[in-house]
Structure 1
Amino acid sequence: MERHYGLDWLRIGAFALLILYHIGMVFVPWGYHAKTAQPLAWVAIPMLAVNSWRLLLLFVVSGYASRALLVRGPATGHFAVNRTWRLIIPLLFGVIVVVPLQPWVELITQRGYRHDFGYFLLHDYFSFRVVNGLALPTWQHLWFVGYLWIYTMVLTLLVAVMGQRSLQRGFDRLFGGWLVWLLPAAWLVLVSAWLFPGIGPSNDLVGDSVSHVQYLPAFLFGFALAGSSPALATMRRLWPWALAVGIACYTIVAATELRWPNSTTPAWPWGILFASARAVQGWSMIVALIGFADSYLNRDLPWRRVLTEAVFPFYIIHQTIIVGVEGALLPFGLPRFVEFGVLVVTTLVGCWLFYAIGREIGWLRPLIGLRPFPQTKEA
């Protein structure tokens, strides 16, 4: 299958948005590992513009990319082994080396922990117990990598048992028309408003049913979408309408947040309306973004290859930089716009250095999610 540059650009944009979103988490009145001294309630309004679809989009795009990897590989088993190597190694490296600073900052700034980072590493982080209400060790933001590996193994099993052709025919018949927009949106409404009302993701794998019933179908949808010309054509045709509906639903979400700030369950029936509008907003924006990318972004540019390679290392390191820098800034009591500016600059510079240095070191490349250097034969 041909490479879809539009989906590459969506993936790059989604990860860039994720980094900016996590910087915003420092300032919004929601729980996070490092918080500014005085969070701002109004920050929730722009955050809710992307909150409902940012992770769904990542799983859809990841599923799409998985189809390309499976097609290029020699066999399904090879695909499973390759994805295990490319995901589990960086996950373990992240949990052991990259993540520990984050729970330490949370403990000392929010949970009354009194020990330094060295003591924390030697005595508490690898203790496999709860310390001041925090279970350690932890994977923090790297839950996405763990979930992605689990979903990839489920996909491998489905392909091995049922075959790609039968799965693709069923997908094309079901999602070749308007149902590509309506059916997933209806499912997300059912999940958010009726099956799990007021319940957010926990990212703990075993007890996170609300995430799995949304993200696993999104991942499988992306995989099948990569081989479905009818579904892509429909999204290309519908994207302006989907965008309009997504914006309309966002106004309902924002208005509800303004009326009941920081509430997970507004008074009935507004809670149902909020959850339903948020679900429809999320899938409508995904249809709009994929349709737009297929129409206008399916072209290569010089920086596309580098940015495509850089997004995984950026993802691995970005939250540790954000949390670590905010933890260091807190004692100075800086104005929030200064904090925000410092976080943006240090995160971008730190992510780029992590990638630029790591890509030049052969043994480090697999640890940060990059392919090993190609082996060259001696003359």
Structure 2
Amino acid sequence: MTETPAIRRHYEPTAIRRHYGMDWLRIGAFAILILYHIGMVFVPWNFHAKSHHVERWATVPMLAVNAWRLTLLFVVSGYASRALLARSHGLGRFVRDRSWRLLVPLAFGVAVVVPPQAWVELVLRYGYPAGYLHFWTHDYFTFRQLGQVTVPTWNHLWFVGYLWFYTALLAIGVAAVRIRRAQHGFDWLFGTALGGVGVIVVPLAWSTAIHARWFPMVGETHALVGDWIAHLSYFPAFLFGFALARSPATMHAIGRWWPVGAVLAIAGYAYIVGIERGWIGPWGPALFARYGIAHAAQQWGAIVALIGIAERWFNRDAPIRATLTEAVFPFYLVHQTIIVVVAYVLWNSALTAGQEFAVLVAATVAGCTAFYYGGRAVPWLRPLIGLRRTS
């Protein structure tokens, strides 16, 4: 991206003070995501590998985070992007750094990290006869469909691709707004609209329109092109986080209104569980709309509540924070492959559901830790797992 002196001078005037609460929230969000993907082995929802101990009741704890876990990741990613932009020496440098930190691990992940997931799914579901090495060297890079699995694939790494795409759109917008006064005006407008109860009402109305009117009961494809329900949810969440980093008024409003968000989240979750467990019904268009409203209430209410809690009680540093903040991305890159492969190894085991779950948690934590520390120690591996290059 070509920069004029005006862009270099005005795109982001001052640095942003680190918000430790948002760091802890990011760490917690990724930890929940990893546990959620372990849970996917045991619930009757589509996943790459399933346990013999699939239980319908296990959806109840999964539904507690299902509505907001990914939206929260985009909010905290947008917040971090504003801080990174403020520290960068020019918009072009910001774009280059973010592209390097996102696209290189994405390419490495698609080529090396994700393929075992596709192989396990093909073996378990479609009786794929060949071993993994043959699959990776002969079939994975053929750009076709095997069974119902399209190869190559990015699977859970869709989040990285979407994050880069939103970052690119953000950079285009920042380049278009070259005058500092205009950027201050944007921050003022954001703080005015969302500086009071609007921080609850406005995003909740948008989310309700998505889930109850425009796309009731529509799933995300994670294919980037045509995935409108995802883009209409996640890109505004990303922009919200970006704007929040320079809006004390909105952060103050979140600190005031987060208990209301918590009540909305709990009420939405209770209604969704009632529908999923068959206590409310029957299914039909009217119920779809009410489900969408409950989903929106749980989604945005939980995000406001969690940010408010992070602002009030967790905006403080600790010795382990820096390491965990650096480790979450490498953990994210590799965690699902570990889960799927271990679930495959345990496929014919005599373990109980509890024992299988415990093994999956322990193996995932151990494998992710080894991946992070091993990659961090080797300079040429660092960019591949999303870490900064050493000088």
TM-score bucket (shorter structure):
over 0.9
Q: Which amino acid is 2:322 matched to?
A: R
d(CA) in 2 for partners of 1:349, 1:221:
34
Among 210, 217, 220, the residue aligned to 1:201: 220
Give the aligned partner of residue 181 of structure 1.
200
d(CA) in 2 for partners of 1:40, 1:253:
18
Q: Which amino acid is 2:186 matched to?
A: L
Matches within 5 A, 1:1-379: 1-163=16-178, 164-259=183-278, 266-373=283-390, 375=391
**Are the aligned partners of 1:186 and 1:280 in contact in 2 as well (CA < 8 Å)?**
no
TM-score by length of 2: 0.93
Give a deviation string over 1:37-61, Cα, whole Å, max 9, x none. Answer: 2410011111010000000000000
Shift of 1:260: 7.2
**Are the aligned partners of 1:37 and 1:333 in contact in 2 as well (CA < 8 Å)?**
no
Give a deviation string over 1:259-308, Cα, whole Å, max 9, x none. Answer: 179x9x92242221112101111100100110111111100001000000
Number of matched pairs: 372
Point out the more displaced range, 50-59 or 331-340: 331-340
Shift of 1:333: 4.2
Give the aligned partner of residue 9 of structure 2.
none
d(CA) in 2 for partners of 1:274, 1:193:
7
| Structure 2 stretches lacking a partner, 5+ long | 1-15
The SS at the match of 1:33 is coil
d(CA) in 2 for partners of 1:73, 1:242:
34
d(CA) in 1 for partners of 2:130, 2:207:
44
Runs of 4+ in 1 over 6 A off after TM superposition: none
**Are the aligned partners of 1:147 and 1:205 in contact in 2 as well (CA < 8 Å)?**
yes
| Structure 1 stretches lacking a partner, 5+ long | none
d(CA) in 2 for partners of 1:174, 1:158:
20
d(CA) in 2 for partners of 1:326, 1:224:
41
Structure 1 residues 260 and 132: alpha-carbon distance in aligned structure 2, compared to 1, 3 A threshold: farther
Q: Which amino acid is 1:211 matched to?
A: A
d(CA) in 1 for partners of 2:136, 2:259:
51
Give a deviation string over 1:207-236, Cα, whole Å, max 9, x none. Answer: 211100000000011000000010000000
Point out the more displaced range, 4-13 or 266-275: 266-275
Q: Which amino acid is 1:339 matched to?
A: E
The SS at the match of 2:348 is helix
Q: Which amino acid is 1:196 matched to?
A: F
Give the aligned partner of residue 13 of structure 2.
none
* Percent identity of equivalent pairs: 52
